[in-house]
A = this chain, B = another copy of it.
Amino acid sequence: MNLLRIMPAKGGDVSLESQPETDVLVIGGGVIGLAIGWRAAQQGLQVVIADPEPGQGATNAAAGMLTPIAEAAYAEREIFALGQDSLRRYPDFVADLQRATGLSVGYRQSGTLQVAYDSDDLAVLAEARQLQESFGVQLQQLSGRECREAEPMLDPSVRGGLVTVDDGSVDPRLLAAALLRAAEGGGARLVRQRVTEVVCTAGRASGARLADGTVAHARWIVLAAGWQSAGVPGLPPGIAPPVRPVKGQIIRLRTTAAMTSAGLPPGLLRRTVRGTVRGSGVYLVPRESGELVVGATQEELGPDTAVTAGGLWQLLRDARTLVPGITELEFADAVAGLRPGTPDNAPIIGLSELPGLILATGHFRAGVLLAPVTAETIAGFLRTGVPDPLWRAFAGGRYQASSQAAARKPEEETACR
């Protein structure tokens, strides 16, 4: 049985537990935290996931592109390799989820078409191609005419494109719902509370204080709170991962029944289209449901989640330039999320310098893509005690040579500072 040890807080004097019965406390219930909780629970570990609103952060505003290749233009080789690794895990990950829950997550393996709108955009695409091919990726280059053969709704002005056939997509809202059900079905317990402090015992992270003042203890604490991971109180100096909120706005449009019966594909497109339009990047992700997601802005405005007139206008302008037919689509909604950005745009996955604390954050634009590899390598470590080699390039400690804090050894359970 899954037991969460919650004890009433008595000022700073919180009872110690030498053998907490919870194996893993996951702080954060986005796709990353939920996937970790699910994969860990599948191994028979006692899991608690703490999140006041699971699935409501960056996950809720994610488009769900599984496009490590197209994304490579923005990434280092290590990030690209990690994305490719995670993409290869997706078929089994989704099949397992569907077996466990009976829920679809809208998974499609339909490829990506990267397109360029004008000749300057074509130069950007050529650079992307060079980088992608240097990573050993096979790309198919298309003329403007071939782009329109592949996607008839593209504007005649589109100059050229690149097809990658392995890419896919998923519906992040469906994914989060399925992961939550699978995690709970596997024995994980969801606590709908905010974590107010990580607590330590004898120099080791040993639990977290919740909003109601109780403390949840666990042998391992996994910090998967997205951009908020940087601000979780109680961590020693240098341990909190240097993540920052990078706002992204997306729009969800919808094809009508009349369009579908006129033979147009659901969401107007057959595959994800990523384009550069007069220097501005935009993507369009169709779903079987008829939804077409248009994204995304990138804004450094701190923790601001307002959908703005300017964000909508920019997305609609660029999407309409590439695919004029979107003007006929119904507007479903617009949301903004805060991605966890890092100084080098790479995620932070693996052991921290504070014993007992595992980091799983900083996934920036790729949280949905990287959920399988993040969850499975962490679940593997929890089973074997051996850190995954894939983590090497993504340790939290890479941002500073060492941390004084790891040397501190408080003997009483307390905030870890």
Contacts and interface: CB of A to CB of B under 8 A. Distances in A.
B319 A317 contact: no
A313 B310 contact: no
7 contacts: A308-B330, A309-B319, A309-B328, A309-B329, A309-B330, A311-B331, A313-B313
Size band of the interface chain A makes with B: 20 to 34
A313 B311 CA distance: 11
A326 interface: yes
A325 to B, nearest CB: 9
A330 B311 CA distance: 10
Contacts of A56: none
A327 interface: yes
Looking at A256, A320, A331, the one whose CB has the most chain B CB atoms below 10 A away is A331
Contact of A309 (B307, B308, B309, B320): B320
A194 B91 CA distance: 51
Interface of A: 251, 253, 256, 306-313, 316-317, 319-320, 326-331, 334
Given A316-B316, A331-B334, A334-B331, A309 B251 contact: yes
B320 A308 contact: no
Given A251-B309, A306-B330, A313-B327, 17 more contacts: A253-B309, A308-B327, A308-B329, A308-B331, A309-B316, A309-B319, A309-B326, A309-B328, A310-B326, A310-B328, A311-B331, A312-B312, A312-B316, A312-B331, A313-B316, A317-B317, A331-B334
A256 B305 CA distance: 12
A311 B312 CA distance: 12
A256 B330 CA distance: 27
A327 B310 CA distance: 4
Contacts of A330: 306-309
A327 B331 CA distance: 19
Contacts of A313: 313, 316-317, 320, 327
Nearest to A319: B309
Contacts of A320: 309-310, 313
A250 to B, nearest CB: 12
Looking at A251, A253, A308, the one whose CB has the most chain B CB atoms below 10 A away is A308
Looking at A306, A309, A316, A317, the one whose CB has the most chain B CB atoms below 10 A away is A309
A300 B99 CA distance: 48
A161 B408 CA distance: 70
A309 B327 contact: yes
